[in-house]
Homo-oligomer: A and B are copies of this chain.
Amino acid sequence: MSDPAKKPLRLGIAGLGTVGIGTVQMIQRHSAMIAARAGRPVVITAVSARDRGKNRDADLSGFAWENDPVDLAKREDVDVFVEVMGGHDGPAKAATEAALAAGKDVVTANKALLAHHGHALALAAEAAGRVIRFEAAVAGGIPVIKALTEGLAGNQIRRVMGVMNGTCNYILTRMQSAGLPYDVVFEEARQLGYLEADPNLDVGGIDAGHKLSLLAAIAFGTQVSFDAVELEGIGAISIDDIRHAADMGFRIKLLGVAQMTGRGLEQRMTPCLVPADHPLGQLQGGTNMVVVEGDAVGQIVLRGAGAGAGPTASAVMGDVIDIARGFRLPVFGQPAASLATPVAAQSAAPAPWYMRMVLVDKPGALAKIATCLGEAGVSIDRMRQYGHQDDHAPVLIVTHKATRQDIAHAMGLFAGTGVVVGDPVAIRIEEV
């Protein structure tokens, strides 16, 4: 296991942005330590990026340069193709396919690529006898892919949950702490450079949904199925709901949940209420958290930085060192051919719901709402009515477990009562 004569593992790094340069720096800083742990030296032989002339925060003079990542992927002096370019089609996909075809292992940070093409790439990798590792694609520096695929592999997984987009969590916790509305905090986040070029990737839940689909594939032994993820962003979350939820002991999070139910595989990335005293509720700012529930292990919580040069490079290097050590396993933890085609659950499991509405100040208004809920089969756990404002009375309701359909049914009935002002709000409460 410690043969000093072992050949160096040679990396070709495609993409020299934050993560690529972070990886170069880590290898340069810790080459002796990495060699001791990996059992052999890890070296970079070649790199590629769009702009060779750009000033970068690392000495690249010892590495060969390729303008085209596909050429990098095919180089004879590369054992592992490290893809940290991003993009779910185009060069990243072409270069990854080229690397596998040329007999290279692949380490990638590209959640979008795997969410869209993960199954085909896994089949290609396994046909070629190669591995694709993607710790850096999910929750940054948190070693959650490893925990789920390896450490917890003896468990039947019951549920995987996660707050996996730091920008959304920053926005929601900042709204609460500063008492600012969504639009203002969104603009702050943009100024701070926290948002993707297409902000909908963040606040629309798409980026976090990509990550959830990868965790679900491993957890439940199913083919990646990003298209089946129910996506709802945070754009409609109001400061009122954040405050009222807090009053009732909850926090609002963009929460990913994947679970296998009798009705099929449920994958959701939507705003949810979680208890303020659970680690998910306590999570502040841009930090990420993944919660894994196994039948034997119970609930495991993993927390750490979800983005940034250091954390993401840490995840890349964990995968690289695994490959250097000779660890080899199927891309999603079991052979791709054995992964089931998931049946998407057509409706989410029943849950308690938080509802907020404003009622006109008339006798019997509340009774009408209660009647609608009863007709829809939704029973009330807690209700709170606030002091009247301008003849309008804000009302909060926490229901017992109900389906989304029943809640939608009740909200449809509300409209006919003539006592509801504006649009009522309903947000799922995830029981953790």
A129 to B304, CA, bound (A): 35
Contacting pair A300 B297 (CB below 8 A): no
Chain B residues with CB under 8 Å of A334's CB are 2, 36-37, 39
Chain B residues with CB under 8 Å of A329's CB are 1, 39, 325
A67 lies within 8 A of chain B by Cβ? no
Q: Which of B26, B296, B297, B303 contacts A154 (CB 8 A)?
A: B26
Contacting pair A36 B314 (CB below 8 A): no
Contacting pair A300 B221 (CB below 8 A): no
A34 lies within 8 A of chain B by Cβ? yes
Q: What secondary structure prevails in chain A residues at the interface with B?
A: mixed
Supposing A303-B301, A304-B297 touch, asked if A321 and B126 sit within 8 A by C-beta, the answer is no
Contacting pair A156 B297 (CB below 8 A): no
Chain B residues with CB under 8 Å of A297's CB are 141, 304-305, 310-311, 314-315
A34 to B317, CA, bound (A): 27
A311, closest chain B residue (CB) = B297
**Chain B min CB distance to A293 (Å):** 10
Supposing A1-B328, A1-B330, A300-B142 touch, asked if A294 and B282 sit within 8 A by C-beta, the answer is no
Q: How many A residues are at the interface, by size bracket?
A: 35 or more
Contacting pair A154 B30 (CB below 8 A): yes
Point out residues on A near B: beta carbons under 8 Å. 1-2, 22, 26, 30, 33-34, 36-39, 126, 129, 135, 141-143, 146-147, 150-156, 221, 277, 279, 282, 294-305, 308, 310-311, 313-318, 320-322, 325-330, 333-335, 337-338
* Besides A143-B146, A298-B308, 4 other A-B contacts (C-beta < 8 A): A39-B330, A296-B314, A301-B301, A327-B327
Show 25 A/B contacts (Cβ-Cβ < 8 Å), sorted by A: A1-B126, A1-B335, A33-B221, A141-B297, A142-B300, A143-B146, A143-B152, A146-B150, A147-B151, A150-B318, A151-B318, A152-B314, A153-B317, A154-B317, A155-B317, A295-B310, A296-B310, A296-B311, A297-B310, A300-B302, A300-B303, A300-B304, A301-B304, A325-B327, A325-B328
